[in-house]
Amino acid sequence: MPQSTETQERLVEQVKEKYGQIAKTGGSCSPAGPGIPCCGGGAQTVSLQIGYKKEEQAAVPEGADLGLGCGAPIPHLEPKAGETVLDLGSGGGLDAFLAARAVGPTGRVIGVDMTPAMLERARTNAAKAGFANVEFREGRLEALPVESGSVDAVTSNCVLNLVPDKAVVFREIARVLKPGGRLVISDILLDGPLPESLAQDVYAYVGCISGAALRSDYFGKLAAAGLGQTAVLKDVDYLDALFEAAPAEADALLAKHGLGRSDVRGLVRSVTFRAVKPA
């Protein structure tokens, strides 16, 4: 059943509040306790588990990696010197800074985030590390503060699942991309409906689980926005990684809803995919 506008806006505000707390403290927002942050589990350790490399972590400012991703999209995006890259839900700036290193001084990276505390953190990180080719703009993904047809590549890491109206976001991505432009996104998708109690848990929503869409619906909206040549680059069970990173906390979250691991195994996927705007 589609969510009302009022419900969608309430969820957005709750997401904004929780990620603001993380930006200020660097801590977990999970109701299950420390060890399950909003989209992962313990900053640099979790980032290594989901695909980042130690040399990448060493190349970005301290405090940029908050362990909030569910993939490592930048190597698949392959930013090139001189390109303009857009990072949706840029958080502390981890992926924006990695892209900035690739596009070099003749390129440009734009990070967009709706949380003022995250923007402050990212801008401080950029200034400390001397990233002159990165800027961070405040805005919603449903109305990007970016000129149409101005971006070579778009990336996002475990953020679109938090947006209630994903179809609008995909249309915005298509709008800002240049013809022939590409996107590589890591996100949480579902291969089956979640148990109702878990799906309705707003804290699970902020934790990137119950805000996720069914795979067929998600990619259907992507195609409807005019983005094609879709290729799945990585597809793993997200909850397996969560159980490994923080087993006690993950079990506590499930137990809250009277569930066990077998009830959800295989349903929640961490997927990294590529798509292209037609030339």
pLDDT at position 247, please? 82
Distance CA 61, CA 55 (A): 12
- Looking at per-residue pLDDT, the higher value among 233 and 240 belongs to 233
Distance CA 83, CA 99 (A): 10
Can you list the positions of beta strands (E) in 8-116? 84-88, 108-113
Counting residues of the chain whose pLDDT is more than 90, the rounded percentage is 55
Which of 14-23, 120-129, 150-159 is the most confident on average? Answer: 150-159
Distance CA 268, CA 270 (A): 7
Closest CA to 145 of 111, 119, 185: 111
Judged against a pLDDT cut of 50, whether residue 34 lies above it is answered with no
Judged against a pLDDT cut of 60, whether residue 72 lies above it is answered with yes
Residues 100-141 have pLDDT tens digits of 999 999 999 999 999 998 899 899 999 999 999 999 999 999
Looking only at the bridges linking them, the beta strands covering 228-237 and 177-190 are unpaired
Q: CB under 8 Å to 275, separation ≥6 — which residues?
A: 182, 183, 222, 227, 228, 229, 230, 231
- Looking at per-residue pLDDT, the higher value among 39 and 104 belongs to 104
Which of 7-11, 47-51, 97-101, 191-195 is least confident?
47-51
Q: pTM for this one?
A: 0.86
pLDDT at position 37, please? 44
Give the chain's count of helices (H) and strands (E).
13, 8
Distance CA 44, CA 52 (A): 9
- Looking at per-residue pLDDT, the higher value among 233 and 26 belongs to 233
pLDDT at position 169, please? 98
Q: Mean pLDDT in the chain?
A: 85
pLDDT at position 31, please? 43
Q: Which domains does the chain have, with CATH numbers?
A: 5-274 (3.40.50.150)
